[in-house]
Amino acid sequence: MPTFSLQRHIGDKLDVRIDNERTCVNLKTIVTGISKRKNSRVFTMEILEFGESEYEYWQVLFDRIPSLPQKIRHDGNIIVNIYENAVNRLYSNIN
């Protein structure tokens, strides 16, 4: 997860590094939006340059555990399906 000072403004240019177990991506970005969530801020950034990291960026983006369910059962029990989906999302955010 990228980390940087929260004293950023819309229009600031940032060099962002994203590391995971398999690869590392370095991106040149510009802040396009800032919103507050509880005790933190969410930064929306536009990628200006991938440099040599475009392939690695796509790998990081798509080689992750999906947050949406991969199967939907049509057994008529939609409440259980919604509950299981919510529990899976909460659990995946904790880990």
pLDDT-based confidence at residue 48 (cuts at 50, 70, 90): very high
In whole angstroms, give the CA distance from residue 75 to residue 92. 25
Rounded to whole angstroms, how far apart are CA atoms 7 and 67? 30
Enumerate residues 6+ apart whose C-beta is below 8 A from 89. 67
What average pLDDT does range 12-34 have in this prediction? 89
- Residue 71 and residue 87 share a domain: yes
Do 49 and 79 lie in one domain? The reply is: no
Which pTM does this prediction carry? 0.56
> Could you tell me if 58 and 81 lie in one domain?
no
60 and 72 part of one domain: no
- The residue count of the chain comes to 95
What residues contact residue 21 under an 8 Å CB cut-off, 6+ apart? none
| Domains identified in the chain, total number | 2
Would you state the pLDDT for residue 88? 79
How far are the Cα atoms of 5, 68, 81 from residue 71, in angstroms, in the given order? 39, 9, 10
Query: What range does the domain containing 88 cover?
Result: 66-95
